[in-house]
Amino acid sequence: MSSAFQLHGVTCQFGDLVAVDEVSLSVKKGERVAFIGPSGSGKTTLIRLLNTMLVPDSGELSALGEPVADLGVASLRDLRVRIATMPQHLGLVENLTAIQNVVLGRGGSRSTIRSIRDLLFPSSRDAQEIHKLLDRVGIEDKLYTAISKLSGGQKQRVAIARALFQNPEVLLADEPVSAVDPARARDTVKLLTGLSEELGFTLCVSLHHLELAKEFFPRLIGLRDGRIVFDGSPESLNETELDALYQLSAEEMMTDA
Ligand SMILES: Nc1ncnc2c1ncn2[C@@H]1O[C@H](COP(=O)(O)OP(=O)(O)OP(=O)(O)O)[C@@H](O)[C@H]1O
Ligand SMILES: [Mg+2]
């Protein structure tokens, strides 16, 4: 099976701060992977490297077989269309309707003029497809509702539909279930993993809910201070490794005190 992602010694810094530190990993096409780890451990930065919005300061990164550093603007744009991202705060436009937000999902592959036209007057073909997608994610009755009038769980579903409208080969979801109750969070994660299984796209998710990660993902990657400290199945994650992943360091305890 070919790779969705291959990273060799990838480092990404913001000034002096090393957010992702010499990370090497390989994700196969069709895999479902959860990135876990404390706040600030580098999960979002890693996801932004995978979707090519950030460029490594050193190391090599290939996405869907393409060495990202070698790609020109046009090839990069083509690659980004194949990788959908649900950003940490969903990135929905609150005063637009669900259908308009979903239409924006295909913006990357369409000209600006076409995107604006689609936004104002979605074609009947797009509308039909979006209707089906919203049906698939369980909110078909919200097609013409403004995002600002939806619950947290419903917004997550619009964000999933928007990502799927891109027909992605990979879906990267950065903390897709924050700010909802545990039952809604479980439903959304179940929906995402089910869709990945059904449609065959690779799914990489960052999750604070360790229990959900363990229940729905066959592979967990634990990050701490930008480094991988664990990479394996939920069954193989033991207490010592969990402690190493989430325990506050002496320095952090001093800061919290
Ligand atoms: N644009 C940026 N400029 C400067 N520093 C940044 C930037 N983005 C992230 N960082 C820093 O990089 C480190 C990793 O941040 P990142 O957002 O990747 O962590 P995270 O694991 O996603 O955290 P959380 O669980 O809170 O979302 C943090 O120390 C953060 O402050
Ligand atoms: Mg984050």
Give the pLDDT of residue 113: 67
- Strand segments, DSSP code E, in 66-143 are 66-67, 83-86
Residue spans of the domains in the chain: they are: 3-256
* Nearest Cα residue to atom 4 of ligand 1: 14
Q: Which ligand is nearest to the CA of 54?
A: 1
Residues with CB under 6 A from ligand 1: 14, 17, 19, 37, 39-45, 88, 175
15-30 burial by CB neighbour count: b if 16+ within 10 A, else e? eeebbbbebeeebebb
Ligand 1 atom nearest to CA at 15: 4
**Beta carbons within 10 angstroms of residue 91's beta carbon:** 13
* Nearest Cα residue to atom 5 of ligand 1: 14
In a mutational test of the pocket of ligand 1, which residue from 43, 89, 251 has the highest number of ligand atoms less than 8 Å from its CB?
Answer: 43
Give the pLDDT of residue 42: 97
Give the pLDDT of residue 158: 94
Give the pLDDT of residue 56: 96
Tens of pLDDT, residue by residue, the chain (257 residues) = 589 999 999 999 999 999 999 999 999 999 999 999 999 999 999 999 999 999 999 999 999 999 999 999 999 999 999 999 999 889 999 999 999 899 887 765 666 666 666 666 677 888 888 889 999 999 989 999 999 999 999 999 999 999 999 999 999 999 999 878 888 899 999 999 999 999 999 999 999 999 999 999 999 999 999 999 999 999 998 888 888 888 765 566 566 54
* Nearest Cα residue to atom 26 of ligand 1: 39
* Nearest Cα residue to atom 11 of ligand 1: 19
Dist. CA 80 → ligand 2 center (Å): 20
Q: Which ligand is nearest to the CA of 221?
A: 1
Dist. CA 206 → ligand 2 center (Å): 7
Dist. CA 15 → ligand 1 center (Å): 12
Ligand 2 is an ion; its neighbours by CB within 5 Å are 43-44
Dist. CA 50 → ligand 2 center (Å): 14
Q: Which ligand is nearest to the CA of 87?
A: 2
Q: Which ligand is nearest to the CA of 36?
A: 1
CA distances from 24 to 117, 176, 203 (A): 42, 24, 18
Scan for tokens 């060495």, then name that residue.
67
Ligand 1 atom nearest to CA at 47: 18
Distance of alpha carbon 19 from the chain centroid: 18
Residue type, 54: L
Give the pLDDT of residue 257: 45
- Residue in 83, 54, 64, 41 with CA at minimum distance from that of residue 175: 41
CA distances from 240 to 95, 187, 213 (A): 47, 30, 18
Q: Degrees (nearest 5) of the Cα angle 174, 76, 70?
A: 115
**Beta carbons within 10 angstroms of residue 120's beta carbon:** 9
Under 8 Å between Cβ of 205 and 215: no
| Fold for the domain defined by 3-256 | Rossmann fold (3.40.50)
**Beta carbons within 10 angstroms of residue 182's beta carbon:** 11
